[in-house]
Amino acid sequence: MGMITGLFLGLGLLLIWMSLWEAPTATQPRHSALRTLEEDLLVAGIRGVSTTTFLGAITLFSALIAALTYVTTSLTVGAALAGLAAAAAPFFIVRSRATRQRARRREVWPDVVDHLISGVRAGLPLPEAVAHVGMRGPDELKDDFSLFAREYRATGRFDECLVTLKDRLADPTADRVIEALRVTRSVGGSEIGNLLQTLATFLRQDLRVRGELEARQSWTIGGARVAAAAPWIVLAMLATRPEAAAAFNTTMGGIVIISGAGATALAYAVMLRIGKLPQDERVLR
């Protein structure tokens, strides 16, 4: 009897604990690191490469760097840290490239919206106004909109082509613009021009404020990156000397290197966290 009571009590506590958490729905997908990596690869222009292939290439590259470091310096701990750094470097490169590309696209989205407004007010059908961006729009987005135009002319399915374009761009601003176009197309709204004009105004205001903040933080972040990299450049130069390599290849030397790596990584992460500007989230995937 006591065991049954305990089972029911545990089940009740489990149900109470589960009720405190909101289950993900179709409109609120679970955040995934692989999903984020896939979007970064698309935005960075590395298309046709799956996340599995990318991760496999990183594994081979980090193993090669670790082996070369060990052959060069004879430092076991140094080789392990070099392998970890080589594994992390591609992620930072892809993220940095995607961030720069998103920044460039953020600057030209008001022009894209202006092109759409001009096309709609000139009497063009909505699909043709969107396809027209691929011919006379900003260079950063011409390829994606040109591909949309080819897909639409081949299939005639405006809604599906817009969804494909949204997935390809993987951008919060693109999500808002494309969802507005989809709603207008489906319900036949006549205020698309005013809606897009308001959106263009908000985008330009956001660009102005963000530009001022980024200009103020660039010097601080640049100095912090130099400060984080300088000790490891000195360590790499010292490791080329046999006596220094022998000193760091001891137990105490390994502890010093690992402690320094941990302190550097922690300080760099804190710096990025403090200096990070708020980013728009893709709530309209």
Q: Tens digit of pLDDT for each residue in 267-282?
A: 888 877 776 766 666 6
Q: What pLDDT sits at residue 56?
A: 87
Q: What pLDDT sits at residue 30?
A: 44
Q: What pLDDT sits at residue 178?
A: 85
Q: For each of the chain's 285 residues, which pLDDT tens digit applies? A: 555 565 556 656 666 665 555 444 444 444 577 888 888 888 887 877 788 888 888 999 899 988 888 888 777 777 888 888 888 888 988 988 888 888 788 888 888 888 888 888 888 888 888 888 888 888 888 888 889 889 888 888 888 888 888 888 878 888 888 887 887 776 655 667 777 788 788 888 888 887 777 777 777 777 777 888 888 888 878 877 877 777 777 778 778 888 888 888 888 888 777 767 666 666 666
Cβ-based neighbour number of residue 260 at 10 Å: 14
**Euclidean distance between CA atoms 172 and 46, whole angstroms:** 19
Cβ-based neighbour number of residue 120 at 10 Å: 19
Q: 128: which 2 tokens?
A: 């043709």
What is the reported pTM? Answer: 0.60
Q: What pLDDT sits at residue 14?
A: 62
Q: What pLDDT sits at residue 22?
A: 47
Q: What pLDDT sits at residue 187?
A: 64
Q: What pLDDT sits at residue 29?
A: 42
Encode 90-99: b = buried (16+ Cβ within 10 Å), e = exposed.
eeeebeebbe
Burial-class residue 262 by CB neighbours within 10 Å (0-12, 13-18, 19+): exposed
